[in-house]
Amino acid sequence: MPARRHGLGAGNAFLGKALKDPMGAKGLKIGVTCYPTWGGSGIVATELGLSLAERGHEIHFITQAVPIRLKRFSENVFFHEVETHDYPVFLHSPYTLSLAAKMTEVASYYNLDMLHVHYAIPHAIAAYLAKQMMSDRRLPSVVTLHGTDITLVGVEPSFQSVTKFAIEQADAVTAVSEFLKKVTRESFETEKEITVIPNFVDAERFSPKRDENMRRMFAPDDEVIIAHASNFRPVKNIRTVVEVFFRIQRLMPARLMMIGDGPERVVAEKLARCVGIGHLVKFLGSQENMEDLLPIADVFLLPSEHEGFGLAALEAMSAETAVVATNVGGLSEFIESGRNGFLADPQDVDKMTEIVSELLSNPSLRGDIGRRGRETVLDLFSKDKIVRIYENLYERLCE
């Protein structure tokens, strides 16, 4: 299938040329593979690709479907659909082989400089196969580890050895947190060099600008709003979100926004109806306008049982929404409990309820936490700062 080109015209092209390009006058041609569905790894991969395109690089997304945030089109962005095929002898469609073949096809035709794959299984293996098929020239690969690809999927006995192999065969490996780097080293007993490059936020896009008309749509009587956003997998601890909100709405008028989709959504909807709060909870599904929804919330709740980084929490902080999350994984690397957010044990519903209640009852505290959260984003996790780190990595590989 031919590439589909996404473009807005000359405006973006001018922007790409106007910004300083550390690679010199010639940008790179980079193949990017990620899961196109709702989830941190796909969102980060897409935002990174779009940011690189703005800086003059040519980005080729090689995925099953258009990634969830590939809606802000750029002149330098291409999409290549990976088609899978069913055959009577196949119990399951061999997606990894189809992906490797598509990577090779795109790399050859468009003369790609490198591949950057997000999430180890199966993308890192597909990149390895593509590199082997490109025997006529070098095709470096970067593998970015995001969380559950290591902490849950990769350590499954049937995947552990192949995940370790894929990591060690990559030309460069990055992890989104020190926690994830440590877990990878320990779980796979590897000495492979792993560079920590944290996730980032476009702080201009995710800003404290609150649309009061939109807020009134969710809270017509000026109730407080609690928000949660995730891919609704069991690891996100969705039932705890509903339980905390159930307790809060008994203390004060409140509403709950549930943003995202996944296997736990139906369970959460049934639970909300069973305890009599279904009319107070809005299940919005996957939304592209997160930058509009997060600022209208008073508190963002992320009670995950595992979290490689926690991009949704960082986006909420950028919007100056007070964050209550859990003391697991990479969250504690950017949330200092009591200063720019709050952390609690994933199973401590009492503590989370106490913190959320205090924030909702104290606008001054809530505002201070929100402002310090945004300062953290601006100081350490801005788009320009992190994208430049990736560019430096690409430059070293191409040399």
Instruction: At 201, give phi and psi (nearest 5°).
Output: -135, 140
**Sequential pLDDT tens for the chain (399 residues):** 445 544 333 233 322 333 344 444 479 999 999 998 777 888 999 999 999 999 999 999 999 988 888 876 678 999 999 988 777 777 777 889 999 999 999 999 999 999 999 988 899 999 999 999 998 889 999 999 997 777 776 567 778 889 999 999 999 999 999 999 999 999 889 999 999 999 999 999 999 999 999 999 999 999 999 999 999 999 999 999 999 999 999 999 999 999 999 999 999 999 999 999 999 999 999 888 999 999 999 999 999 999 999 999 999 999 999 999 999 999 999 999 999 999 999 999 999 999 999 999 999 999 999 999 999 999 999 999 999 999 999 999 988
pLDDT at site 194: 96
pLDDT at site 153: 64
Q: For 322-355, how does the pLDDT look when each residue is reduced to its tens digit (9 = 90+)?
A: 999 999 999 999 999 999 999 999 999 999 999 9
Element (H, E) at 141: strand 141-145
Domains within the chain, CATH numbers bracketed: 4-200+382-398 (3.40.50.2000), 212-380 (3.40.50.2000)
Task: Round to whole Å and give the CA distance between 104 and 83.
Answer: 14
Instruction: Using alpha carbons, select from 225, 217, 356 the residue that is nearest to residue 294.
Output: 225
Preceding amide of 263 cis, omega within 30: no
Instruction: At 113, give phi and psi (nearest 5°).
Output: -85, -25
Over its C-alpha atoms, the chain yields an Rg (Å, rounded) of: 21
C-alpha pair distances (Å), 73 with each of 67, 112, 201, 360, 368: 12, 20, 18, 38, 36
pLDDT at site 25: 44
Strands 299-302 and 322-326: parallel
Tokens 């790409």 map to which residue? 16
pLDDT at site 73: 65
Task: Round to whole Å and give the CA distance between 399 and 386.
Answer: 21
Distance of CA 314 to the CA centre of its chain: 10
Helix count and strand count (H, E) for the chain: 15, 14
Task: Round to whole Å and give the CA distance between 310 and 362.
Answer: 25
Instruction: At 143, give phi and psi (nearest 5°).
Output: -115, 125
Lookup: tokens for 144 = 């970015």
pLDDT at site 3: 53
Contact 329, 352 (CB under 8 A): no
pTM of the model: 0.87
| Angle CA 351–373–252, to nearest 5 | 45
Task: Round to whole Å and give the CA distance between 2 and 286.
Answer: 28
Instruction: Kindly state the DSSP code that residue 149 receives in the 8-state scheme.
Output: I
Contact 278, 255 (CB under 8 A): no
